[in-house]
Structure formats: structure tokens, C-alpha cells
Amino acid sequence: METRALTARTSTESTRDIPEATVARLPVYLRALTTLCEAGTITCSSEELASAAGVNSAKLRKDLSYLGSYGTRGVGYDVDYLRYQIAREIGVTQDWPVVIVGIGNLGHALANYSGFRSRGFRVVALLDADPNRHEEVVAGVDVRPFDDLEQIVKEHGVAIGVIATPALAAQDVANRMVASGISSILNFAPAVLSVPEGVDVRKVDLSIELQILAYHEQRKTHGATA
Amino acid sequence: METRALTARTSTESTRDIPEATVARLPVYLRALTTLCEAGTITCSSEELASAAGVNSAKLRKDLSYLGSYGTRGVGYDVDYLRYQIAREIGVTQDWPVVIVGIGNLGHALANYSGFRSRGFRVVALLDADPNRHEEVVAGVDVRPFDDLEQIVKEHGVAIGVIATPALAAQDVANRMVASGISSILNFAPAVLSVPEGVDVRKVDLSIELQILAYHEQRKTHGATA
DNA sequence: AGGAGTTTGTGAACGGGAGAACAAACCGAG
DNA sequence: CTCGGTTTGTTCTCCCGTTCACAAACTCCT
């Protein structure tokens, strides 16, 4: 009778529906906590953690409150405990298999990026349409033909794909990924992807970021071009 | 008596104070327009352009309205004219000199990325603290010692810097950049930078994007781990 | 010239996130 | 046990951004 049925979960814990803005900050908190942890810190206040993460302390506390009450009033948060809780909420307590398509300059860099491995992701395959690259071994993983995508996805249970191809190829790659069963895509190609309902796409665009900076930069020195 | 005094500008054109969310979308429109232009399209409606950019048409129209009235009712927008207007508003009608610090995997990829050159940016220098790299030439630009930063910035009038170093070095690099006169920073290092008032920092974090995808992915297959 | 059809530009309602401020809860000292 | 100091969790308010809906404006056809 109630809409509750939709939000009710089997689990005994975890209040669901975390705001999107909060979800985007959780990884930042996670990194800050890891840094604190490595520095030997046992406990920290919301003020300290907020400062380490570069956000407002009130915002931090509100964000954490969506996950539950993991702090202790008058004391603060247990660094290691909170770190685990956030990692669990995000889902990076165990590794996610990932495929990267497009082994150009950027693909190389991504394959070699150690931050993936250390933060819950494992590159299980590198794919490229160019046969000349199929001899290569990058970061300990050999480059394979793009047509192997479906088999690899099935074999490793891959849910997340990274697109690092030229813009023209991006939509085709996305289509094949979706057809193979991938339901989350990180797109580095400068192209707008259209995907079916239920598939998440996040886009990282290097030149757009620079253009945004250029806009503000232009403002700073507006009329003073002499 | 009115707050108008604050928003009034000397220029005869350009209504100022464009919302930040709009600024972030202008480069997307610019790219969509360029694509349309290359396809030979002369005119397009807000609906078409919005679809090409992957946004709502009402949002597109409102965004464009902040720049002025560049469309024609009953007709649409002149592709080439609008393209120029947006480029001018962003400030990419002429090239911005850019320095990249940290020539590891990612730095290499960035230096070779053709999208910068074609979108109003010119890499004038590659810097690295490691003397072993100073022999290298990447993308036609030779890698120079980090200590040359100030001289290069002065010489070329560089206002925008890109940080592609490990996390530990990022803050130091940022400090040196600011001291040299750079006032806009694009940071790829997984670290929170603190900079003085007036300096803009944008952050691109590869693993955070993946973590956000992982969160949603975990939801899709919530209790069905069987 | 006039009217039908089309598309822009914008006013207004709506929803979500940011930040301030405070009550509830915890620790430790006496 | 009580009290003062500290820090969390949460409520409330404000502001930005999104979206709807419609009037204004333009073209084309008759």
C-alpha cells in the first residue's frame, strides 16, 4: 500500500537513497581517511577530516549521517572503522574487474595507473581494434582484439568498462559493451554517448576542464589587455 | 539603491555573471556545434543542438540566453555564428599557453592529446623534477627541469598549469606555480590542494569516477549475490 | 497583407543541496 | 554522582539549478 515497499531493503542496516552529491564526495573522504590512517591517526573530529578532504565540516557530518551514526559525540570518528564503513557503502571492499578499450596514449596511462588497483579496481583486459597493438603487453596485461570483449566480460563478470578511444569509435564501443553485459561506463572520449535505461555513464573530458578554467581566467584580466 | 550596481559592467555587450553550471556546459555546446559545422549544417534548432549535446532543450535555451539573443525565433541558431559567440565567451578564440608538470604516464598522454591544441590550448612546456627525463622530447616539446617554471611562465605569459605528478608532490608544485604567477590549475593528482584566494583549481580524479560508478553498480545487483 | 505554424527567450514553480545553528550525547574531573 | 567541555547528528533556512509552460517573434504560404 505504501511506497515504502520500494525503499525497504532486505539488509538490517544502511538507510538507502544517499544524495548524488554525497555519493560523489564519499571517495574523497575515503582517500582522506586512508591518508590519516597511514599517518597513524586513530581518531579524528569532523573538523579535521573536513579540512583534509577540503570541505565544510557541517557538510561532512551531514554526508556521513546518511550512512549511519558512526561517530561518537564528544570524541569524533574512529579513522579505521569509518574508513571501512565508507568503503563498504561505496562497494570497494572487494575488487571490481574492469576492461579498458582503446590503448592509445590515454589508455596506456590508465592501464599503468596504480590508483585503480589500490582503490578497489582490477584491470582484467586491454582491448584495441588495431591489430598492430595486439602484440603489446601493457602493465602486465596483453592487449587483445576488441572482438574478445564479450568473452572477457562473461568470463570475469565485468560490470564496468572504460572507453579511451577516439570520439568516432566511442558510441560503437559503448554499444558493444552494453550488448556484452556491461552496465557502467567511464567515458574519456569527447563524445556524447546514448545508452539504454539502466546503464550509467560518467564522462571525463580533459579539454572541457581547461576551457572552464580559461573562462574564469579571461574574467580575471577582463578589460586589461591593453 | 539597487544591487544593479554590482552587476553593471563597463562593456557594451555581454551580460555578465553566468551561472557556474552553465559555464560548465558551454564547452559541451561548443563541441556539438563544431561537429554540426563539420557535417555541413548551417542552422539548427535548440532541440537538435540539445540532443547533440545530451541535455534538455529548455536548459540549453536558458543557458544560451545568458550570453545574449543569438537565435532567431521560428528558425533556430546559425551554427557558425553561435559557435563563434560561445568560443568568444569562453575565451578560446585565441590560444592559451599551458605548462604541464609531471611527465609520467599521464603527463605523456596529456602532452600528446590533440584535443588541447584543437580547442584553444598550446602546451608550451613540459616540466619534471626527475633529471633522467630531461633528455626526452614528448610531442615535439622537450622536457625541462621543474626549476625552469618561473622563467617559462614569465616568458610565455602562462596563466594555466596542469599538475600530473604523484600526490605527494602536488602541493609543492601548486605553490611554485602560484608563486610564478599561474592563477588557474588543473589537478590530476589525487590530493587536495590549498591555494590562495583568486587562484582557481579544478580537479580530475580518475579513481573517484570509478568509485562513483561502483557505488551505483553495487545497487543494481543489491541482494542478488547468491 | 494576413494567418498558420514554428521556435526562441523567459517568468514562475519546484526540488535539492549548502551552511548555520542548536540540541543530544559522550568524556573526564572532582 | 554531578558538572563543564567537547563533538556529533539534525533541523531549518536560503540559494542555486532544473524544468514547465507560454508569450513574443519570425517564416512561409496563400
Could you tell me if B153 and B131 are in contact, meaning their C-beta atoms sit under 8 angstroms apart? no
Could you tell me if B83 and B34 are in contact, meaning their C-beta atoms sit under 8 angstroms apart? yes
Predicted confidence band at A134 (pLDDT cuts at 50, 70, 90)?
Answer: very high
Helices and strands in chain B: count of H runs, count of E runs: 10, 10
Q: Which residue of B lies nearest to A50 if distances are taken between CA atoms?
A: B192
Could you tell me if B150 and B127 are in contact, meaning their C-beta atoms sit under 8 angstroms apart? no
Instruction: State the DSSP H helix or E strand holding residue B43, giving kind and residue range, or none if neither.
Output: strand B43-44
Tell me the percentage of chain A whose pLDDT exceeds 70. Answer: 91
Predicted confidence band at B223 (pLDDT cuts at 50, 70, 90)?
Answer: low
Please name the amino acid found at residue A205: D
Which tens digits make up the pLDDT trace of A159-190?
A: 999 999 999 999 999 999 999 999 999 999 99
Separation between Cα atoms, residue A20 and residue B213, nearest integer Å: 11
Structural domain spans, chain B: 4-90, 96-209
- Give ∠ CA B38-B44-B45 in degrees, rounded to 5: 150
Q: Which residue of B lies nearest to A164 if distances are taken between CA atoms?
A: B109
Q: SS3 letters for chain A?
A: CCCHHHHCCCCCCCCCCCCHHHHHHHHHHHHHHHHHHHCCCCEECHHHHHHHHCCCHHHHHHHHHCCCCCEECCCEEEHHHHHHHHHHHHCCCCCEEEEEECCCHHHHHHHHCHHHHHCCEEEEEEEECCHHHCCCEECCEEEEEHHHHHHHHHHHCCCEEEECCCHHHHHHHHHHHHHHCCCEEEECCCCCCCCCCCCEEEECCHHHHHHHHHHHHHHHCCCCCC
A8/B contact by beta carbon, under 8 A: no
CA distance, residue B114 to nearest chain A CA (Å)? 10
Which tens digits make up the pLDDT trace of B137-196?
A: 999 999 999 999 999 999 999 999 999 999 999 999 999 999 999 999 999 999 999 999
Could you tell me if A164 and A107 are in contact, meaning their C-beta atoms sit under 8 angstroms apart? yes
Task: Show residues of chain B in contact with A216, CB under 8 Å.
Answer: 23, 184, 200
User: What pLDDT was estimated at residue A115?
Assistant: 93
Any atom of strand D under 7 A from CB of B65? no
> Residue A107: which residues within 8 A CB-CB, separation 6 or more?
A100, A101, A126, A128, A138, A164
Separation between Cα atoms, residue B9 and residue A225, nearest integer Å: 16
Backbone dihedral angles phi then psi of residue B142, each to the nearest 5 degrees: -85, 145
Any atom of strand D under 7 A from CB of B22? yes
In chain A, which among 54-73 make CB contacts under 8 A with chain B? Answer: 54
Task: Show residues of chain B in contact with A116, CB under 8 Å.
Answer: 206-207, 210
B186/A contact by beta carbon, under 8 A: yes
Contact: A206, B116; criterion CB under 8 Å: yes
User: What pLDDT was estimated at residue A7?
Assistant: 34
> Residue B193: which residues within 8 A CB-CB, separation 6 or more?
B163, B170, B171, B174, B185, B187, B201, B203
Residue carrying C-alpha cell 599517518:
A39
Any atom of strand C under 7 A from CB of A202? no
Q: What is the CATH number of domain A4-90?
A: 1.10.10.10
Please name the amino acid found at residue A85: Q
Task: Show residues of chain B in contact with A108, CB under 8 Å.
Answer: 105, 108-109
User: What pLDDT was estimated at residue A221?
Assistant: 82
CA distance, residue B148 to nearest chain A CA (Å)? 23
Q: In terms of C-beta density within 10 A (0-12 exposed, 13-18 middle, 19 or more buried), how is residue B186 classed?
A: buried
Set of cell numbers at residue B173: 608544485
CA distance, residue A123 to nearest chain B CA (Å)? 12
Interface test with A, best of B9, B83, B105, B193 (most A CBs within 10 A): B105
CA B54, B59, B65, B66: dihedral to nearest 10 degrees? Answer: -90
Please name the amino acid found at residue A217: E
Separation between Cα atoms, residue B202 and residue B190, nearest integer Å: 12
Separation between Cα atoms, residue B13 and residue B122, nearest integer Å: 28
Set of cell numbers at residue B99: 605548462
Task: Show residues of chain A in contact with B33, CB under 8 Å.
Answer: none
Predicted confidence band at A223 (pLDDT cuts at 50, 70, 90)?
Answer: low
Separation between Cα atoms, residue A111 and residue B214, nearest integer Å: 18
Query: How many other CB atoms sit within 10 Å of the CB of residue B215?
Result: 21
Mean pLDDT (whole number) for B1-25: 60
Average pLDDT, chain A: 92
Mean pLDDT (whole number) for B65-81: 97
Topology given in CATH for the domain delimited by A96-209: Rossmann fold (3.40.50)
Separation between Cα atoms, residue A78 and residue A75, nearest integer Å: 9
B108/A contact by beta carbon, under 8 A: yes
Sheet holding A96-101, edge to edge: A137-138, A141-145, A121-128, A96-101, A160-163, A184-187, A200-203
Which tens digits make up the pLDDT trace of B37-54?
A: 999 999 999 999 999 999
Separation between Cα atoms, residue A52 and residue A208, nearest integer Å: 27
| 3-class SS of residue B141 | strand
Contact: A91, B218; criterion CB under 8 Å: yes
Query: Which nucleotide is nearest to A69 if distance is taken from CA to C1'?
Result: D9
Any atom of strand C under 7 A from CB of B57? yes
| 3-class SS of residue B72 | strand
A22/B contact by beta carbon, under 8 A: no
User: What pLDDT was estimated at residue B17?
Assistant: 87
Which tens digits make up the pLDDT trace of A39-77?
A: 999 999 999 999 999 999 999 999 999 999 999 999 999
pLDDT of residue A17 exceeding 70:
yes
In chain B, which among 152-171 make CB contacts under 8 A with chain A? Answer: 159-160, 162
Any atom of strand D under 7 A from CB of B19? yes
Contact: B212, A27; criterion CB under 8 Å: yes
Closest CA to B174 of B146, B211, B145, B151: B146
Set of cell numbers at residue B9: 559592467
